[in-house]
Structure 1
Amino acid sequence: MPFNTVFTPDRRAALTWCPGVRTVLGWRWPECKYTANDYRAYEDRVRDLLQGAKARAAIETGGIVWRLALEIVGAELLEEAANGPSPDVYSYHKLFRSEVGDDQLDDTLSSDELDVICGTYKAIMDTGQIEDRSWWPKEPAWRESHFDVGRWSAWNEKWFLTRLSRIRCGEEQPKKQASWRGAMRQANGASKLRTVLESASKDWIENNRDQLCG
């Protein structure tokens, strides 16, 4: 489940918003056949990306991004995420603004960076259009799918490890986004469960706010 560890900056501090660096995993022709070596190169790219603030933000994102970060970089990221926002939060952040009180900040990832983590390539079609193809479902597609039930389930883990094994054996290719949407259709009850879990989590935090902030 996504979470945040927020930071309230000193009101005297200067906050400078820096847009995320535009980045892409790679450009390919639509007929390209991907190999296990391509997947290893993708993992190396993610390791280079997930340093410091980016690593924290990936863990906090939850879902498929969280699982890929743990798989590629390691479980030590969990402790890093719990340590609170990094010093980079002053220039590159997600802003939380309440009706009363101070603004709060946390580390974040750009949409391009999320795409790299999910293994997204840009395929150049004969028409000149660009089509995304990814080893794993892109983060927005995951959030909108019935795979996302508000937590990483045993079924999610089995699916992930099965696909990962097939990729490493050269038996899987990056999918088009329409193919991912079709592959992730499941029982409609999953989205209802996610809503219930989110509501229960918010209620628990509100009821235990004093202990959490004490």
Structure 2
Amino acid sequence: MAIPFKTLLQVETPPSIILPHHVTLGYQRKGYKSDVIDYSCYQDVCNKLLLSTCGHVALLQGGIVWCLAINVLSPEAVLSGPSSDTREPKEIFQTTDGHFFINDCLSQEELDLISGVYNVYTGHGPQMSQSSWWP
């Protein structure tokens, strides 16, 4: 498995805080059982996310996220970041001498989507459990 690391870009001023866009595999009713059609839909949505600017960030994650991303992307894709797109979520680092660096990051929802996480109602009010295609 790959070890997580960061690619940083120095900037003059840090970008504004951006709220991540919401991406999920959806919410399922109690007793939901996934099938081959669900898996195919998961692959399509996951591949679309990985082929976006999120792809290289997934390769930086290491672990299961890297394992899933490397099946869609080439290892060289990791070098395509960080993105200068200020609309994308960023980690911001400041050095002790006042320099700012940014790094692309994935939201928890994006990590869940890559990992194939479904939210399933338990039948106890708004309570949900999660199931995943991967551990």
Given the alignment of the two structures, is residue 3 of structure 1 paired with residue 5 of structure 2, yes or no? yes
- Code of the residue aligned with 1:5 in structure 2: it is T
Q: Does the 8 Å contact 1:53/1:88 carry over to 2?
A: no
For the pair shown, which has the larger CA radius of gyration, 1 or 2? Answer: 1
Query: Which one has a larger percent strand, Structure 1 or Structure 2?
Result: 2
Identity %: 33
**Structure 1 match to 2:133:** 135
Q: Which residue of 1 aligns with 2:76?
A: 79
User: Counterpart of 2:70 in 1: which secondary structure?
Assistant: helix
Q: Could you tell me which runs of 5 or more consecutive residues in structure 1 were left unpaired when the two chains were aligned.
A: 138-214
Match in the other structure for 2:31: 31
Q: Name whichever of 15-24 and 110-119 sits farther off.
A: 15-24
In 1: Cα distance, 2:104 partner to 2:86 partner: 5
Aligned-pair distance for 1:28? Answer: 1.4
Distance 2:68 2:15 in 1: 31
TM-score of the aligned structures, taking structure 2 as reference length: 0.86
Residues 91-140 of structure 1 deviation map (CA, whole Å, 9 limit, x = unaligned): 52111233334121111110111001000001011112111111113xxx
Identify the residue that residue 61 of structure 2 maps to in structure 1. Answer: 61
Alpha-carbon RMSD:
1.8
AA aligned opposite 2:11: P
1:125 corresponds, among 119, 122, 125, to: 122
Contact 2:92 2:101 in 1 (8 A): yes
In structure 1, what is the Cα distance between the partners aligned to 2:50 and 2:56? Answer: 8
Higher percent of residues as helix: 1
* Structure 2: segments with no counterpart, 5+ residues: none
State the match for 1:19 in structure 2.
Answer: 19
The CA distance in 1 between the partners of 2:48 and 2:88, in whole Å, is 20
